[in-house]
């Protein structure tokens, strides 16, 4: 069985300690949230967009130039246009 990293081997003592911790319960509000952060008050909607190769390349170039992501460039462009 492996631990937090692929190189770390777990022993029976560590497994038992984690089981005891789980049985005591967790303070859910203090647990670290997993996944992507929210972009607003509600969960964001994923939208698929098809781009011709030239526009796709321009999008990547703009994101690189702005030290941003392709998604953020598209959101900014839509906000400005709409």
Alpha-helical segments (H) within 1-82: 12-24, 53-65, 70-81
Of the candidates 42, 62, 49, the one whose C-alpha atom is nearest the C-alpha of residue 72 is 62
Looking at residue 6, its pLDDT comes to 61
DSSP 67: T
Does residue 74 contact residue 66 with C-beta atoms inside 8 Å?
A: no
pTM of the model: 0.54
- Which of 3-12, 13-22, 31-40, 50-59 shows the highest mean pLDDT? 50-59
Residue 7 has pLDDT above 60, yes or no: yes
pLDDT in tens, 26-80: 888 777 777 777 777 777 888 999 999 999 999 999 999 999 999 999 999 999 9
């Amino acid at each position: 069985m492996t631990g937090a990293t692929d190189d770390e081997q777990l022993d029976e003592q560590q497994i038992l300690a984690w089981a005891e911790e789980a049985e005591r319960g967790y303070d859910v509000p203090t647990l670290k949230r997993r996944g992507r952060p929210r972009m607003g008050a509600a969960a964001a909607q994923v939208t698929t967009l098809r781009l011709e190769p030239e526009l796709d390349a321009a999008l990547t170039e703009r994101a690189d130039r702005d030290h941003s992501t392709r998604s953020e460039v598209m959101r900014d462009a839509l906000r400005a246009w709409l």
